[in-house]
Each structure stands twice: as structure tokens, then as C-alpha cells.
Amino acid sequence: MENEMVKKNKNLWGKILIVILALAVVAGIYVYKKAEEDKLNNQNTVQIDSESAKEEELPLEISSVDLDEIKSYGLPFVIDFGSDSCMPCREMAPVLETLHESWQGKAIVHFVDVWKNTTAANNFPVSVIPTQVFFNADGTPFVPSDELAQEIEFTLYSSKDTNEHIYTVHQGGVTQEQMRKIFAEMGVE
């Protein structure tokens, strides 16, 4: 009787060992295939840079803002926070459209309708619309010259913790001529 029990236990442990080995083999195959898939995906990933931004046409209207992605293009940019329903914003729309078309590959012009995309401006100092946020090609906030700052009112925002300059903002409408002056200081002609 005792011998039979020992045999059953050995058989049971043998079966358990076979199940564990089978699970280990399946897990190993899954990990291997996942690693190969990730490797293939990484090979197909294209690094975004200013050259690819020059080749692809970026949209004027966006529904959310990914600053890291926009900065990765290596071009100066403006994000205009407004609405299709706001009169001053509608007056600015042709300016944005014209500059968006003429600056493809030189600068990025984005528009976000904050009434349609209510959370898009959450991380930005937007209290009225339209509000424009300006960044240089290197991803740093634009700092206007004294001469330009006398002509166009800008607000420079700094981090409360580090006092680092994080945003340069203009509130209200901007004419095409003013926008061209701003971008001329950022190197866009």
C-alpha cells in the first residue's frame, strides 16, 4: 500500500513537473516573439526631426498638444488657443491659415479650438482667447527683443519652483505683419 502511494506521488510530481516545463516553454516562446516584434518595431520607427517636418505637411488644427512631439521637429512654432465661435479668433483665422501654408517646413503654426477640445489648454496659461504661445526651434520659449516687446505685448511665465522661463504668451489677436515680425526674430523669413 505504501509502495503504491509512493508511486502515485512520483507520478503526480512527474506530471506537475511536465506541466511546469510546458508552461516555461510557452512563456519562453512568448517572450522571444515579443522581443523580436519589439525589435522589428524599433527598426521601423522613424526619428522625427526638422528634415521630416519639412517633408510632411503638419496640420493647422490640432485637438490636443504634445509639446515634446512638436519640439522634436526642431522648428520654431506657435500654438494659437481660440475657438471657431469667437469673433477675434475668427478674425485671426486667415492669418493662421496663410502663415501655416507659407511656412511649411520653416515653422509650425497650430490652432486649438478650446471650446471643442476643453482640456487641450489645461497645461498652458490661457485665460482669454485667442492666446498664442511661442517657442524657438530649440524648444525654448521665445524671448522677444525689447523693440518687439514695445510693439507687441507679451507675458513671460516662469516656473514657481525653479523660476525657469516656461512660456511666452500673447493674449488677443495678432496681425499677419506682427506674426511675421515675431517669427523673423526666431529666424523665419
Distance, CA of 77 to CA of 70 (rounded, Å)? 8
5 and 60 both lie in a single domain: no
40 and 69 both lie in a single domain: no
Q: Which is more confidently placed, 3 or 73?
A: 73
* For the ranges 3-7, 42-46, 62-66, the one whose mean pLDDT is highest: 62-66
90 and 126 both lie in a single domain: yes
pLDDT of 42 reads 41
39 and 122 both lie in a single domain: no
Cβ-contact 107, 75 below 8 angstroms: yes
Confidence of residue 28 (pLDDT cuts 50, 70, 90): low
13 and 38 both lie in a single domain: yes
How many structural domains is the chain composed of? 2
pLDDT digits (tens, 9 = 90+) for 150-171: 999 999 999 999 999 999 999 9
pLDDT of 47 reads 38
The CATH number assigned to the domain holding 177 equals 3.40.30.10
pLDDT digits (tens, 9 = 90+) for 126-153: 999 999 999 999 999 999 999 999 999 9
pLDDT of 181 reads 97
72 and 138 both lie in a single domain: yes
19 and 57 both lie in a single domain: no
Coil vs helix vs strand at 57: coil
12 and 54 both lie in a single domain: no
pTM, two decimal places: 0.71
pLDDT digits (tens, 9 = 90+) for 97-126: 999 999 999 999 999 999 999 999 999 999
pLDDT digits (tens, 9 = 90+) for 2-11: 566 656 666 6
109 and 137 both lie in a single domain: yes
122 and 163 both lie in a single domain: yes
Distance, CA of 180 to CA of 146 (rounded, Å)? 16
Domain, as residue range, for 8: 1-45
11 and 73 both lie in a single domain: no
Cβ-contact 143, 168 below 8 angstroms: yes
Cβ-contact 152, 143 below 8 angstroms: no
Q: What is the dihedral of CA 30, 34, 36, 40, to 10 degrees?
A: 150
63 and 30 both lie in a single domain: no
Confidence of residue 177 (pLDDT cuts 50, 70, 90): very high
